[in-house]
Amino acid sequence: MAHKDIFWMACDSTEQLRAEYGPFHTREEAEEEARKLGFGYLLRYEHLVSDEGEIEEVRCVFLELSNAPVAARSGVTFHTRCATCGEAAAHETGWQAEVWSDIHEFEHSRHKVRLFERARGEGLREISDGRGFAA
């Protein structure tokens, strides 16, 4: 008998070219991460899987988050720098910086990326917890 696999993604829009982050096993996990990243939507994927393990059907449902975060503050940029190799990058939103960090640390298993926020008139400030900062 076929069964249904469900997983959740955080996403920034309902457009075809959207950023998705995940997957998550529960809606609560996906919603928490979506809010951290400044995303306003959740995407629920339902896979109908046959007894042989083949995906027979895929369903996608978008959910708009209530009290979705507002757009990024004007004049704020995010910066990443690897404390191990020195590679650095600048980003317009916090989620882009977090994704860059995740990719760099995945590709270089012993590297540690530091995250910074730069606001006009305030200078550069390190985001001490590293991950999970809002856009």
pLDDT in tens, 91-129: 988 888 888 999 999 999 899 999 888 877 777 888 875
Place of tokens 């899987």: 49
Task: Say what the pTM is.
Answer: 0.49
- 14 shares its domain with 42: yes
What pLDDT was estimated at residue 104? 94
- Least confident interval from 34-38, 42-46, 53-57, 71-75: 71-75
Residue 135 lies in a domain: no
Residue in 80, 36, 41 with CA at minimum distance from that of residue 60:
41
Rounded (5°) CA angle 102-103-104: 95
Q: Are residues 12 and 58 in the same domain?
A: yes
Indicate whether 89 and 110 sit together in one domain: yes
| CB-based contacts of 20, cutoff 8 Å, min separation 6 | 9, 10, 11, 43
Asked if residue 131 is part of any domain, the answer here is no
